[in-house]
Amino acid sequence: MFRGSIVALVTPFRNGDVDDRALGDLVEWHIAEGTHGIVPVGTTGESPTLTHREHEGVVERVVEATAGRVPVIAGAGSNSTHEAVAFVRFAAKVGADAGLVVTPYYNKPTQEGLFQHFKTVHDAADLPLLVYNIPGRSVVDMAPATMGRLAELPNIVGVKDATADLARPLLQARACGDGFCQLSGEDGTALAFNAQGGVGCISVTANVAPRRCAHMQAAWLDGEPHRALALQRELMPLHTALFCESSPAPTKYALSRLGRCTDEVRLPLVPLSANGRERVDAALAEVVA
């Protein structure tokens, strides 16, 4: 259903507000560069600091701007089940192709709590959903067995796996079946994830080097592993530099250097340090130039 290079899109700001013009321009750039799908208001889109109105506005703007040319997987997660239901219903209402629902952060639910959370969200709207498993940020890790239970529900169609555990796609395929869509959420291991059964990546690096990320994923899917590996090696300086400080500050700085948006982030995130700027500049010179 979803495959290739899917960008975890930043939310551009200008003078503290969402920059709608830059947002639309980013969508057009990604489509022109070959990005295979767009995820607005995920972690990289600074969803925790957007108001509900801003969150919904960004999703609606991206759906309108893509106009069906690539899939839109709307960030729709929360540590409140009630709030996640509202976000998923809105995404379905405005025509998103799917929702990306993160495991509830801070609350630390049990595996049964995770199952009931996702089942409740699933039952609330007729929209394909991907589980976003990112234990490094949410502090809970969905076990493959729990994901297997969820995969029995008709609209739980896949996972964004940001564990960087390369055994996961094999374990999840056994639990969920071969038709379950497995997307990496970690750029540095994205190609290796594909080798274990994945079909693409929801990528931070694609914000900055969309064409190369798309070519790398397409090479793998087209049966050209050596070409995919060569491209992944070229991208590694960016994969590393874009996480030298809290994401998405490095990515927004890189985009500002490319003239795509400002480097503004919202507190508690802060702009990239001088040392971080040097690291990102060096990666840009090596990869993007």
Residues recognised as catalytic = 132, 160
Burial class (CB in 10 A: 0-12, 13-18, 19+), 238: buried
Helix axes 20-33, 210-221, angle to 10 degrees: 40
**Contact status, residue 178 vs residue 199, Cβ threshold 8 Å:** no
Q: Which of 44, 86, 64, 22 is nearest to 265 (CA)?
A: 44
Q: Which of 50, 95, 51 is nearest to 72 (CA)?
A: 95
**Contact status, residue 22 vs residue 261, Cβ threshold 8 Å:** yes
> What count of other Cβ atoms lies within 10 Å of the Cβ of residue 250?
27
Handedness of CA 80, 181, 39, 90 (dihedral sign): negative
Residues in the chain, overall count: 289
